[in-house]
Structure formats: structure tokens, C-alpha cells
């Protein structure tokens, strides 16, 4: 299922806008492809990120995948709960498994709506 109220990237990140800050995580499709997530490396608060560039990693029992910044901006917060319970990405990818919050310096141009993301993964 691809939630219709989110934006997506071709690298399988989702984006939810909350009061001018973008909450970012990886999609259910991505976590399913990765398998059991065992470690997450996310940028620290204050880190500048650039759209489309790697800014962290998600490690599973199968592989390690880069986490890409979906927009230009500044990281406001990373999800500290993932340090001790990275499996939240598997159990609740669109909720408690969020990875970081970014204050964007531009728009979310180049992101996909739910229909376009569904087409990408089908």
C-alpha cells in the first residue's frame, strides 16, 4: 500500500510535510526489499543536505543501502529511537520508523505523488 498523502522519491524515500518541516523515511516497499533492518545511520541535527545525495545508510541482514536526501535543507532532528530499535522501520515505516526531519530551503520539485510511485514499484 502506498499512502496517498505523502510524496516519494525514486530512491524509495517518503516525505510528509508538517508545519513547514519535512518528515522523511523509507517506504514500505524499500523496507520489504531490504529485509530485517539492524542499523540506521542518519545525519545529525544541523547537517546541511542536498537533494539526491547520500546522507546516511540503512543496514539490514541482506545489505546496506544509502539514504538519500529528498530535498535541499537542514536536518532538524533524526529519530533517536532508531538507535536502539532500528526494526521500527520494518514494523511502522510511515509512523514511528521515520528517519529525519528536514527544514527545506527549496521546494519538493522532482518528487513523485502516490500514483507515480506506485507505477515505479509495480
**How would you write the pLDDT of the chain (122 residues) with one tens digit per residue?**
899 999 999 999 999 999 999 999 999 999 999 999 999 999 999 999 999 999 999 999 999 999 999 999 999 999 999 999 999 999 999 999 999 999 999 888 889 999 999 999 99
Question: What sign does the CA torsion over 102, 56, 7, 113 have?
Answer: positive
Q: Which domains does the chain have, with CATH numbers?
A: 7-121 (2.40.50.100)
Give the phi and the psi of residue 29 in degrees, each rounded to 5. -60, -45
Say whether 83 sits in a helix, a strand or coil. helix
pTM of the model: 0.95
In the prediction, which pLDDT does 109 show? 85
The grid coordinates of residue 99 equal 528517519
Amino acid at each position: 500500500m502506498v499512502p496517498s498523502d505523502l510524496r516519494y522519491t525514486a530512491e524509495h524515500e517518503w516525505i510528509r510535510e508538517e508545519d513547514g518541516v519535512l518528515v522523511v523515511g523509507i517506504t514500505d516497499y524499500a523496507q520489504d526489499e531490504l529485509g530485517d533492518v539492524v542499523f540506521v545511520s542518519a545525519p545529525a541535527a544541523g547537517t546541511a543536505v542536498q537533494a539526491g545525495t547520500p546522507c546516511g545508510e540503512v543496514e539490514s541482514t541482506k545489505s546496506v543501502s544509502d539514504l538519500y536526501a529528498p530535498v535541499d535543507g537542514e536536518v532538524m532532528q533524526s529519530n533517536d529511537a532508531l538507535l536502539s530499535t532500528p526494526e521500527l522501520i520494518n514494523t511502522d515505516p510511515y509512523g514511528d520508523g521515520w528517519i529525519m526531519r528536514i527544514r527545506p530551503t527549496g521546494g519538493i520539485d522532482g518528487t513523485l505523488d502516490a500514483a507515480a510511485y506506485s507505477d515505479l514499484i509495480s
